[in-house]
């Protein structure tokens, strides 16, 4: 059987006491209409001043919860992700104190993306391919009470795993009766790291098929994802790799983002804010090594294929 949950069924916290808005049977599919992560506060014609004034206690807006009949702690939910449909626009921001370089950001700044089919050309000099996914997919927590949605955990939640696109299958442990599945924080695209604090935050419609596996709870979220971990067009040209090593992995990652943003500023003439935003939606951070104690190496990969014109910048940056 197929079900629909509209975007009026929204929660902003995890709480196992929330009653389900829908109870389904194992094997059913459900289409969930998702608001953007701001709960509809952000819109493409708003000013920078209006963006700075949004209520951040309403982040994230999660559709649900959906219960599965017979689901009990110790069971698993297998969530097969069937389809995402964007609604034509998205936003990404930088905010003081947040993200990889939040201590270097002086003021809030938001950039809007026009989404056209599977691409966006809303940043000067680049064409980006979309790969939509939910930043938040989770079940209700085992603990009693209300909890903010920002930290992920055993229950899933705000994991921001960009490979949870259409075709992926996600297993989550059931921690409360019925499971209480919620989803939201949809992104039209994101780099591994989400370094500005946002991906391409977008209202979206997602369709899942949900299976209940009795007594097979994983110890933590597990997924089987599709082979195309990078948009295929990006594989047609080389990648720029920015490599940094440090005792603190976060400091190495921050150095990578600084260098990649500086490269984008020089090549495209972007402001620093827009360069960091572009890093957040397309730069992939990877742990290259953590064996050479106490040093960790972080690499950031930027696809040459995103650029509309060949580079006039040669040599390392």
pLDDT digit string (tens) for 64-100?
999 999 999 999 999 999 999 999 999 999 999 999 9
Which residue in the block uniquely carries the two structure tokens 């260098």?
259
In DSSP terms, which residues pair with 93 in a beta bridge?
A: 110
**All domains of the chain in start order, with CATH:** 2-224 (2.60.120.580), 237-306 (3.10.28.20)
Provide φ and ψ at 265, rounded to 5°: -60, -45
Residues in Cβ contact with 295 at an 8 Å cutoff, skipping those fewer than 6 apart: 245, 246, 247
Residues in Cβ contact with 195 at an 8 Å cutoff, skipping those fewer than 6 apart: 99, 100, 101, 253, 257, 276, 279, 280, 283, 285
Residues in Cβ contact with 131 at an 8 Å cutoff, skipping those fewer than 6 apart: 162, 165, 188, 189, 190, 231
First-to-last alpha carbon distance for the chain, in angstroms, is 55
In this predicted structure, what is the pLDDT of residue 311?
82
In this predicted structure, what is the pLDDT of residue 316?
61
Q: Tens of pLDDT along 179-188?
A: 999 999 999 9
Q: Can you give the pTM of this predicted structure?
A: 0.95
The span from the CA of 73 to the CA of 253, in Å, is: 37
In this predicted structure, what is the pLDDT of residue 131?
97
In this predicted structure, what is the pLDDT of residue 315?
61
Residues of the chain with pLDDT under 70: 312-317
Are the beta carbons of 22 and 15 closer than 8 angstroms? no
């Amino acid at each position: 059987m197929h079900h629909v949950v509209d975007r009026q069924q929204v929660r902003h916290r995890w709480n196992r006491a929330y009653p389900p808005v829908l109870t389904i049977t194992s094997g059913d599919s459900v289409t969930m209409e998702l608001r953007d992560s701001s709960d509809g506060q952000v819109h493409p014609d708003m000013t920078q001043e209006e963006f700075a004034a949004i209520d951040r206690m309403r982040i994230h807006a999660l559709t649900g919860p959906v219960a599965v009949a017979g689901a009990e702690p110790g069971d698993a939910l297998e969530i097969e992700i069937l389809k995402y449909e964007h609604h034509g626009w998205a936003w990404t921001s930088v905010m003081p104190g947040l993200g990889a370089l939040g201590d270097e950001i002086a003021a809030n700044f938001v950039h809007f993306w026009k989404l056209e089919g599977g691409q966006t050309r809303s940043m000067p000099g680049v064409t980006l391919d979309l790969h939509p996914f939910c930043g938040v997919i989770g079940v209700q927590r085992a603990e009693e009470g209300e909890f903010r949605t920002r930290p992920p955990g055993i229950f899933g939640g705000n994991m921001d795993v960009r490979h949870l696109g259409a075709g992926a299958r996600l297993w989550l442990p059931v921690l409360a009766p019925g499971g209480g599945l919620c989803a939201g924080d949809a992104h039209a695209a994101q780099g591994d790291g989400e370094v500005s604090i946002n991906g391409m935050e977008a209202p979206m419609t997602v369709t899942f098929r949900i299976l209940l596996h009795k007594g097979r709870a994983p110890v933590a979220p597990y997924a089987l994802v599709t082979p195309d971990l990078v948009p295929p067009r990006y594989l047609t040209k080389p990648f720029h790799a920015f490599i940094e090593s440090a005792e603190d992995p976060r400091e190495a990652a921050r150095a990578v983002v600084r260098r990649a943003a500086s490269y984008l500023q020089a090549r495209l003439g972007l402001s620093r804010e827009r360069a960091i935003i572009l890093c957040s939606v397309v730069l992939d951070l990877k742990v290259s090594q953590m064996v050479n104690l106490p040093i960790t190496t972080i690499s950031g990969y930027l696809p040459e294929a995103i650029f509309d014109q060949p580079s006039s910048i040669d040599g390392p940056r």
